[in-house]
Amino acid sequence: MDPNHAHESTQPKQRITTIVFAVLAIFFFVLRIVARHLKQVHLGADDFTLIAGLIFTLTIAGVNLACIEYGMGTHTSIIHPVDLSMVFKLIYAFEPLYITTAGTIKFAVLLMYNRIFPVRFIKIGGSILGAITLAWVIAMDFLAIFQCWPIAKGFNPMLPGNCIVLKGALIGNGVPNFVVDMCILALPVKLIWGLQASLWHRVSIICVFLTGSFVVIASIYRFSLIFIFDITDVAWTLADAQTWCVVESAAGVISACLPTLAPVIKHFTKGLASTARSLSKSNLTQSGTGVISHVDAGEAGLIGGDHKVTITAGEAPHHSDGNYSLADMSPNNRGSLHLKAKGWTMISAETDRVST
């Protein structure tokens, strides 16, 4: 290694990325729970499985942050031996935890499909993909735990013994991972396309489900980083790949939450629309020198310069500096205002509609 690059570090990037995606995963999961509450739907197997997936995601995020504190993201040659020993132990723990995290999130998505699309095609496809995922998790966890013999050599390279070729194991882990992810993403597309809905509605639903494609992109990118792995400089060459394991897992949690958020979005947009209507009823802005400050059940206050004129239903307005005409302001026709004032623009306000 070039001595000029011995002290380079990617630790700030690794740390920020890990924290941001962990927070995003929590945020979207909270929105999912809020959506369940708004819809008055009890938490199901998919929700509880995703809770486990979120806990695992936060666990590997914590392990990755601990790795960074002990030197991950810097060159192995400058890490103190005691810290380096801790880095190896944390990496050893990270591998099976990540595999279990990825598998748990896949199970949560498949269970969500069964809840949303309770049809034979989804049940059979989900069962097949679930069985493949379970087999992958068991095989990869076994490989991660028993990658060396004795087992302790997996986190203490100085011990005598034998280990598998780690780069080959990582590649064997990555390929089935993103292939299964792509199959899971594609599973509901045919069913959604056959819905009795407009083309735009169907495309929008498919796009929501395909937001999970970021998981596949993250998985493929993480897979590409494996090829720069160097066993002689683990702390430097494995740092990006390990952080992207966290990104991939957090993206999986987020993508599992997005299809469930319609009640939250509707509630939020309904609140905005209600606020906008309320403001349009109570506030009329006047161009030039004045403003209609209040319109409520046949009463209006007109403010212009240093004067104010109050107009109440059934009364004729009067002001020495202007000519006003009032119509439709009788008690039987409250809430409708047609006002014309000298030097002012025409203003018409009828219940929910305001124009100037």
The pLDDT of residue 116? 85
Structure tokens at 101: 């995290």
Which range has highest mean pLDDT (1-10, 191-200, 220-229)?
220-229
CA distance 53 to 254: 11
pLDDT digits (tens, 9 = 90+) for 302-356: 334 444 444 444 444 444 444 434 444 444 444 444 433 333 333 334 444 433 4
> What percent of the chain is predicted at pLDDT more than 70?
73
If you search the block for the tokens 């302001």, which residue do you land on?
A: 329
Structure tokens at 157: 């390279």
CA distance 356 to 348: 7
- Beta sheet of 299-304, edge-to-edge order: 290-296, 299-304, 307-312
Flag the least confident range among 22-31, 46-55, 84-93, 155-164: 155-164
pLDDT-derived band at 274, boundaries 50, 70, 90: low
The pLDDT of residue 25? 97
pLDDT-derived band at 172, boundaries 50, 70, 90: confident
Strand-pair partners of 310: 301
The pLDDT of residue 65? 98
pTM tops 0.85, yes or no: no
Domains and CATH numbers, the chain: 3-270 (1.20.1070), 283-355 (no CATH)
Q: Is the pLDDT of residue 96 over 50?
A: yes
CA distance 182 to 175: 11
The pLDDT of residue 319? 45
pLDDT-derived band at 195, boundaries 50, 70, 90: confident
Identity of the amino acid at 48: F
Structure tokens at 51: 């809770």
**Beta 290-296 vs 299-304: how paired, if at all?**
antiparallel
